[in-house]
Amino acid sequence: MAEIFAPSLEAYVPDDLTLPQFILDSHHPLRPIRPSHVPWFIDDASGRGVGYEEVRARTYGLANSLSLQFRIKDDDSVVIFSPNHIDYPVAIWATHRLGGVVSYVTRVLNLETNLTLPGFYPRCANPAYSIEELSYQINVVHPSLIITHSSCLDTALAAAQAASLPSERVITFDDSNKMTVDNLIQNGLRSEPNFVERKLRKGEAKTKVAFLCFSSGTTGKPKAVAISHFGPLVSVIQKAELQKVNKDYAPWEEQRFRPGDVAAGVVPFFHIYGLVLAIHFLPFCGISVVAIPKFNFREFLESIVRHRVSHLMLVPPQIVLLCKHPAVKDYDLTGIRLLNCGAAPLSAELVDQVAKVLPNAQIGQGYGTTEASGTISMFSVDTKLGVPGSAGRLVPGIIAKVVKVDGTLAGFNEPGELQVKMPSVALGYLGNDEASKETFVNGWLRTGDEVIIREDLEVFIVDRLKEIMKVKGFQVAPAELEGCLLDHPDVADTCVVPIPDTYSGELPMAFVVLHPNAAKKVASDPAEAERVKASIKKHVADNKVAYKHLAGGVQFTDIIPKNPSGKLLRRVLRDRARDLVQLRSKL
């Protein structure tokens, strides 16, 4: 089969605007008119809404202060290390007004920990990155400033110190002993202008870096994906065209994205899902976004009712809660008109279950990657429920091909690796030419995902060819955990594989070869085995963010299978792990 062409992108796409110039300063034919009383963003706790004029003013005020006090200028990097906050978009766009680059240092999605439902593993521990992990990312991007939150401040200060960044260059969103974003905004609004916003040349939006978003790519430690202003900009327009935004395609009450709708901004804004969809696409559509800093399920349900939320952008673990948590029956969710699932596949069975919980909602999935700067496919407006098991249709303007293991092109309904050409594709990995050459090949983005594409352009994710697993929608590189495990004194060799989990999608399980001394102790005392396993799990928990913990368990083995060149035969142990899971379920 030849290459697969999605419908061409018919809408106008400017290539000489930065993201704030596109979102805050310009009009587009696909963009609806937002009523003046409809806020752009809503603070979850207080209910305070921020409208268009205030968003623009706060963006200008912060940009002016960042220029005055920190001399942020063209190509300087500003790191954001924080949960969702109502001024999060302001911090992004203020940095962009100055020509700067925003880098996200990730935090775990803070899911509720006191679950007692059958089959659920206990979730707990530190919601923030360790100092080591944060320092690694800071050292990659060399920021001039860190914007954080009081809950992350200690980690941010320690990592800044390790990276030789003065503590005065760590500021917070919220009230604390540090300089706050709101203080800077007010100072900037009172002061004389200290910057002149640069206008981009024709085509420059395609090369001007806007974000450095960390992704594990296909292997190894997280790499900084360089995303241009054009990437998210065109992704917004692609989604708007596919979703027929501002088109009279159906009665008003049935249209999917309408000015005045309210969306729950609970997916992390640092994740490409939240960055493009929640911060840019939804405001483009005239929808208010409720900034929710952490996810506690009961509080989330209360937020839905309190703010009359109509649109949910979630990940599979949260949808599992909607289907199984007993608290759901206590809340009126009939006002939910749309549920979009992203970041990880959602089973057809779970779609059926959640459709009963949200009887008035259109429900479907989207699929994308950080390297694509957003969405590759999304469920269309032609049906209330997306095709079962499908990640949606290819968005306009994409050329796709499905490549078999032997390098030949697969036909429709045949599996293979998805490779795409699209206008939003990232510029590559910062400072890592080797990884860039492996992922971005002759204009094609290798997704590392095995897919099947039907004749109607519906995309079905079969499996990930790359080694990266996804836990709660977050990427986890086995090699990173294996490196951590090998630092444990009792571990001689190891291999980490994913096991399936209804709640998290996947969980890391470690196969471990013990050092001879530890192996002798375990052999002589059965209780010692559990003590060693607990010590190994604690070692990972002490050094890695919560979603990287070995929630799938530790299994001792005599040998780690490898091929003649020394490469781990991960698939062998993955199959063994799945057999163990099936055995557990029968006991």
Mean pLDDT of 24-49: 96
Q: Which stretches of 71-164 are DSSP H helices? A: 88-97, 131-141, 153-162
- Residue closest to 87 by CA, chosen among 14, 7, 175, 152: 175
Residue 45 pLDDT grade (very low, low, confident, very high; cuts 50, 70, 90): very high
Q: Answer whether residue 145 is part of any domain.
A: yes
Give per-residue pLDDT as tens, 85-124. 999 999 999 999 999 999 986 543 333 333 333 222 222 2
Last residue of a domain, one of 453, 488, 511: 453
Q: Answer whether residue 100 is part of any domain.
A: yes
pLDDT of residue 317: 77
C-alpha dist (Å) from residue 287 to 42, 264, 278, 281, 301: 11, 10, 9, 9, 19
Tell me the whole-structure pTM to 2 decimals.
Answer: 0.84
Q: How far apart are CA 212 and CA 194, in angstroms?
A: 26
Query: Do 148 and 189 fall within a single domain?
Result: yes
The answer to whether the beta carbons of residues 129 and 105 sit under 8 Å apart is yes
Overall size of the chain counted in residues:
587
The answer to whether the beta carbons of residues 417 and 402 sit under 8 Å apart is yes
Q: How crowded is residue 420: how many other Cβ atoms within 10 Å of its Cβ?
A: 24
Q: How far apart are CA 248 and CA 381, in angstroms?
A: 12
pLDDT of residue 219: 52
Q: Answer whether residue 459 is part of any domain.
A: no
Mean pLDDT of 395-403: 96
Query: Do 249 and 324 fall within a single domain?
Result: yes
Query: Do 482 and 364 fall within a single domain?
Result: no
- Residue closest to 422 by CA, chosen among 230, 209, 269: 230
Q: Answer whether residue 574 is part of any domain.
A: yes
Q: Indicate the number of domains in the chain.
A: 2
Helix (H) or strand (E) holding 567: none
| DSSP at 530 | H
Residue 462 pLDDT grade (very low, low, confident, very high; cuts 50, 70, 90): confident
Exposure string of 479-489, with b = 16+ CB inside 10 Å and e = fewer, is bbbbebbeebe
Q: How far apart are CA 75 and CA 102, in angstroms?
A: 9
Pairing relationship of beta strands 101-104 and 145-148 according to DSSP bridges: unpaired
**255: which 2 tokens?**
């249209």
Domain boundaries, position 238 = 4-28+37-453
pLDDT of residue 116: 30
Q: What is the CATH number of the domain that holds 139?
A: 3.40.50.12780
pLDDT of residue 123: 24
Q: Please provide the average confidence, as pLDDT, over all residues in the chain.
A: 89
Q: How far apart are CA 581 and CA 471, in angstroms?
A: 17
pLDDT of residue 347: 73
Give per-residue pLDDT as tens, 500-539. 888 888 999 999 999 888 999 999 888 899 999 999 999 9
Q: What is the CATH number of the domain that holds 506?
A: 3.30.300.30
Statement: residue 493 has pLDDT above 80: yes
Poorest-pLDDT segment among 51-55, 88-92, 164-168: 164-168
Q: Answer whether residue 464 is part of any domain.
A: no
Query: Do 56 and 192 fall within a single domain?
Result: yes
Statement: residue 245 has pLDDT above 80: yes
Poorest-pLDDT segment among 1-10, 106-115, 118-127, 161-170: 118-127
pLDDT of residue 30: 97
Give per-residue pLDDT as tens, 426-461. 999 999 999 999 999 999 999 988 899 999 999 998
Poorest-pLDDT segment among 62-66, 161-165, 288-292, 309-313: 161-165
Of all residues in the chain, the percent with pLDDT exceeding 90 is 66
Q: How crowded is residue 233: how many other Cβ atoms within 10 Å of its Cβ?
A: 30
Statement: residue 233 has pLDDT above 70: yes
Query: Do 418 and 499 fall within a single domain?
Result: no
Residue 126 pLDDT grade (very low, low, confident, very high; cuts 50, 70, 90): very low
Query: Do 249 and 323 fall within a single domain?
Result: yes
pLDDT of residue 113: 33
pLDDT of residue 1: 61
Task: Tell me the DSSP string of 413-433.
Answer: T--EEEEEE-TT---EETT-H
Statement: residue 140 has pLDDT above 60: yes
Mean pLDDT of 159-187: 91
pLDDT of residue 202: 97
Cα dihedral 405, 409, 415, 417 sign: positive
The tokens 């587009």 sit on which residue?
Answer: 28
Give per-residue pLDDT as tens, 546-581. 899 999 999 999 988 875 445 677 888 988 998 888
- φ and ψ at 157, to 5 degrees? -65, -40
pLDDT of residue 564: 47
Statement: residue 424 has pLDDT above 90: yes
Q: How far apart are CA 280 and CA 265, in angstroms?
A: 12
Query: Do 67 and 159 fall within a single domain?
Result: yes
pLDDT of residue 465: 67
Q: Answer whether residue 483 is part of any domain.
A: yes
pLDDT of residue 142: 92
Q: Answer whether residue 470 is part of any domain.
A: no
Last residue of a domain, one of 408, 438, 453: 453
Q: Answer whether residue 469 is part of any domain.
A: no
Mean pLDDT of 384-405: 93
Query: Do 444 and 488 fall within a single domain?
Result: no
Give per-residue pLDDT as tens, 328-343. 999 999 999 999 998 7
Statement: residue 394 has pLDDT above 90: yes
Query: Do 46 and 173 fall within a single domain?
Result: yes
